[in-house]
Amino acid sequence: GAGVSQSPRYKVAKRGQDVALRCDPISGHVSLFWYQQALGQGPEFLTYFQNEAQLDKSGLPSDRFFAERPEGSVSTLKIQRTQQEDSAVYLCASSSWLGYTFGSGTRLTVV
Amino acid sequence: AQSVTQLDSQVPVFEEAPVELRCNYSSSVSVYLFWYVQYPNQGLQLLLKYLSGSTLVESINGFEAEFNKSQTSFHLRKPSVHISDTAEYFCAVIDTDKLIFGTGTRLQVFP
């Protein structure tokens, strides 16, 4: 596609529920990144893939967070047993030599 | 690890006035710097970037930033702002393939 597509656009989850957030990168982009942006804050790095390999997951805040990109294209960020502090916008970006392109994000609200 | 600091969380300014948004980076041998803009409920859009070469970089909508190695700064400037420039602005640096963002500066332009 022309840009990075994320779905759903909004997600409301009850505390303790599992959620899955999807990212469709730009076709052909090798690198894919996930960021968490809390209200009023800058985006914080979560994890990074090069093709299907997860090269860096140092930013994942706990073992409840899991990301995958099994075929080197679409990626899913999964959060298990959601908690209120997980409420944030989750941004996905893909990159090529031209630069980084961000999706519009998924706004997760945990109630 | 690379990092950036945005000292001003909010910058109020009147329309047609000049503005400067400050960004300082942690010193390193080589550094790649970016400014992104985020309008309400939207994703991040690249405003401009410094990779190498000329230390003054410009965007298509009148913003410019100057890479200053001696002061480890990459301040964003515009000589005359418009109402439509109201947004959140993020400075970012690359650290081992991933973008590291500052905490952001909210530019509020008043009529």
Can you give the pLDDT of all 111 residues of chain A as single tens digits?
579 999 999 999 999 999 999 999 999 899 999 999 998 889 999 999 999 999 999 999 999 999 999 999 999 999 999 999 999 999 999 998 778 999 999 999 999
Of chain B, the percentage scoring pLDDT greater than 70 comes to 97
Residue of B98, B100, B106, B108 to mutate for A, most A C-beta atoms under 10 A: B98
**Contact assessment for residue B4 and residue B91, using Cβ atoms and an 8 Å cutoff:** yes
B95-104: pLDDT as tens digits: 888 899 999 9
CATH code of the domain covering residue A90: 2.60.40.10
Q: Within a 10 A sphere around the Cβ of B14, how many other Cβ atoms? A: 10
| pLDDT score at A60 | 97
B58-111: pLDDT as tens digits: 888 899 999 998 999 999 999 999 999 999 999 999 988 889 999 999 999 999
- Length of chain A as a residue count: 111
**Contact assessment for residue B67 and residue B49, using Cβ atoms and an 8 Å cutoff:** no
Return d(Cα B60, Cα B39) in angstroms, integer.
17
Mean pLDDT across chain B: 92
Question: Which residue range forms the structural domain that includes residue A80?
Answer: 5-96
DSSP state of B83: G
The answer to whether residue A106 sits within a structural domain is no
Instruction: Sort out which chain A residues have CB atoms less than 8 A from B36's CB and list them.
Output: 102
The answer to whether residue A101 sits within a structural domain is no
The answer to whether residue A17 sits within a structural domain is yes
Pick from A50, A90, A43, A6: nearest CA to B93: A43
> Number of A:B CB contacts under 8 A?
44
| Number of domains into which chain A is organized | 1
DSSP A48-111: EEETTEEEE-TT--STTEEEE-TTSS-EEEEESS--GGG-EEEEEEEEETTEEEE---EEEEE-
- Shortest distance between the Cα of B40 and any Cα of chain A, in A, equals 11
| pLDDT score at B97 | 82
- Helix, coil or strand: residue B26: coil
User: Which one of 3.90.79.10, 2.60.40.10, 3.40.50.10360, 3.10.180.10 gives the CATH number of domain B4-110?
Assistant: 2.60.40.10
List the domain boundaries for chain B. 4-110
B94 touches chain A (CB under 8 A): no
Residues in a beta bridge with A33 = A48, A93
Average pLDDT of the segment spanning B24-45: 87
Q: Which of A43, A48, A104 sits opposite B101 (nearest CB)?
A: A43
- Are residues A100 and B99, on separate chains, in Cβ contact within 8 Å? yes
The answer to whether residue A103 sits within a structural domain is no
